[in-house]
Amino acid sequence: MRIRPDVTLGMVVLADVLRVFLPSLITLFGRAGSTPAELMGLYAVSWFAAAFLAVPLARLVPASRIALGAGVLLLAARLALQLTGGGNAQLYVASAGLLAGLVWLVATAMSARDSRPALAGVAAGLAASTVLHAALDGIDLMWRRGPVPWALLAAELVLFAAFLLRPERTPPRSPEEAGSAARAAGDGGASPAQATPEENPAAPRAWLLVGPVLLLWGLYTGNTAYAQATADAPAWTAAIVAGFAVLSLRPAVAPWRWHPLVPGAVLVASAAAFASLHLTIGGIHGVSPQAMVAAQALGQLALVACLAYAATAPGPGASGPVRRGLAVSGGMLLFVVLVFGYYAAYDLYLPNDWVPIAAALLVAALALAGTARRLEPGTARIGGRAPGWRTPVAALAAAGLVAAVPLWRGPVPSWEPAGEGLRVAAYNIRMGYGEPGRLSLEQQADTLRRMRPHVVVLSEADRGWLLNGGHDGVRLIAERLGMRFVWAPAADEVWGDAILTNLPVTSVRNHVLVQGGPTGAQALEVGLRWGDREITLIGTHLQPPPGWRELDQVEQLAGIVREAAKEHPVIVAGDLNIEPPDPAWRVLLEAGLTDPIAPVRPFNTIPSPGGSVEQIDHVLVTPGFTGRDQANVNVHHSDHRPIAVTLVPIK
């Protein structure tokens, strides 16, 4: 299989930058929802649209030189990102790096002598990025400090630089490949010997696929965090996704050789499962079943197979650099439009299930176009040569590398929860990102450990959103604390709330709350055994309408509390988005809840050096308990402070 290594490594670096740009867009430019979605979309689209400028620029400067210059800028931006401490510098460097990467990709498509090895490099780069991301336990090198991350980053960048500076080489073709190239060039009667290496057999539509392929790969097919978020999935499911990401580079295996309609149909079915297969499992509503891991694996195989068919389908004789450049530019612009179509739908209260299905239909249709019959022997492979044993061995090695992650993970620091009383903590972790826009999952876990809780309620928890970098924040925090977790989706299957504890869990169910804010809301009701007592803990993140004009959501929560309190004492904790003077606060108190933090109010739950006080994160409890050791640590690892209180039974 011929794969251009410079494209492979460039896609790895571009994926690194994209995993910084997208969350920086939300946390820094968007301020976690305070900036209108339309303005965020305009900012993002502007950078992707600017990549079109590489096409007219290639009339003045050879496309190969543009690719070289943009590749160097991409390298420089990635290195600069490692040096930034967050804030606006991170946002703007990531934006510039993204533009450099897009221009590099466009110029690479325009200057490619043969699109097939270049497109194979795109697929291989995404597969390599999947493996590296999972092998780093979901925390990319960008968010790590110390000599080892620097050494690994240096190796990545040096390798990319070395291949970037090396001229593209076109290896000799077999007579069958040369004949295919001659026919694609439009000469009709040319013999295989007359085909030249410069002839490009791929239609420009193959390059248009890069954007939708990137979207589906990031949403789920190459997303190991998404696999780990399926119901009761063990951590090693990430190894399955990583292995199949590599195995997908051998798309010619049966049944893909039958007809491009086969992988196209599989891809669309996989996308439909991703969009709609959300069940009630173990009392939790909206969870993806473990079968979605199989849908991911098959989807990834089908995704690259479709790219292979599009790359080998003959194009018109007039297909040249300009058309390839416009195609890849348009494909990447389509990527960002679909990303916002998926995620901004929450802010705009619109459906988004259509996005992955539409992307899959487009990929399948473009793979099928111009290839209405089974391809000739050898041409169904994205690179043209039989891969032999190397691809399966590489897939097994990748799976083994990811499965071995727990072996190098450091030991969990020993700690004990507070002594007398039940200590409850609540933390809105903002998808794991601190106020400077840096991934802060480890710092969040360390802060919670110092609070010594028996139980932790996490809000705004993310288990695999492409928009946030594709990490499983709940699992990472729970593992660093040495706790088990119960997960409940809210907006979708990988966004919601979690309860972490090592107390015995006696029951689990969650309640879907009426629509309030854009990302939905739920109430996770978990029965716990604390000593000889049965306790019901309800973890939630209320999403109110402005000013709590409507009280439907909080009244529904109050009803859940009343029902649960018939059996056991009830604790409600989380980001309630309610302050004590609000009408919604009275609704909860009238439901029988008391405020164990009241003796120390005002109790600020937002990081600040001083000034205004916001009290929106709470721990409430039914009568029979008093509160002490209240804490609201003023750290900037999120846009909320973690809070904690020890509940002591009244004797």
Mean pLDDT is lowest, of 209-218, 299-308, 341-350, 536-545, for 341-350
Let me know if the fold of 5-171+202-406 is the same as that of 420-649: no
Residue 10 has pLDDT above 70, yes or no: yes
For 541-562, what is each residue's pLDDT tens digit? 998 877 777 899 999 999 999 9
Calpha distance 10→119 (Å, rounded): 12
pLDDT at 32: 64
**15, 20, 25, 29 alpha-carbon torsion, rounded to 10°:** -150
616-630 core/surface letters (b: 16 or more CB in 10 A; e: else): bbbbbbbeebbbebb
CATH superfamily of 420-649: Endonuclease/exonuclease/phosphatase (3.60.10.10)
Q: Which residue has the higher pLDDT, 252 or 259?
A: 259
pTM assigned to the model: 0.92
| Nearest CA among 372, 388, 383 for reference residue 258 | 372
pLDDT at 255: 55
Name the percent of the chain lying above pLDDT 90. Answer: 74
Tokens representing residue 634 in the block: 């003023």
* Average pLDDT across the chain, whole number: 89
Quick one: how many helices (H) and strands (E) in the chain? Answer: 22, 13
Domain boundaries, the chain: 5-171+202-406, 420-649
For 62-119, what is each residue's pLDDT tens digit? 999 999 999 999 999 999 999 998 999 999 999 999 999 999 999 999 999 888 899 9
For 279-299, what is each residue's pLDDT tens digit? 999 999 999 999 999 999 999
Q: Give the type of residue at 524.
A: L
Burial class (CB in 10 A: 0-12, 13-18, 19+), 547: exposed
pLDDT at 610: 65
Matching CATH number, 5-171+202-406, of 2.30.30, 1.10.357, 1.20.1250, 1.20.120:
1.20.1250
Q: What is the mean predicted confidence (pLDDT) over 637-641?
A: 96
Calpha distance 214→536 (Å, rounded): 43
pLDDT at 388: 65
- Indicate the pLDDT class of residue 333, thresholds 50, 70 and 90: very high
**Backbone phi and psi for residue 636, each to the nearest 5 degrees, phi listed first:** -110, 35
pLDDT at 312: 78
Residue 187 has pLDDT above 50, yes or no: no
Share of the chain residues as helix, strand and coil, in percent rounded to the nearest 5? 50, 15, 35
Tokens representing residue 298 in the block: 């098959």
Find the distance separating the first CA and the last CA of the chain, reported in whole Å.
74
| Nearest CA among 216, 491, 464, 220 for reference residue 350 | 491
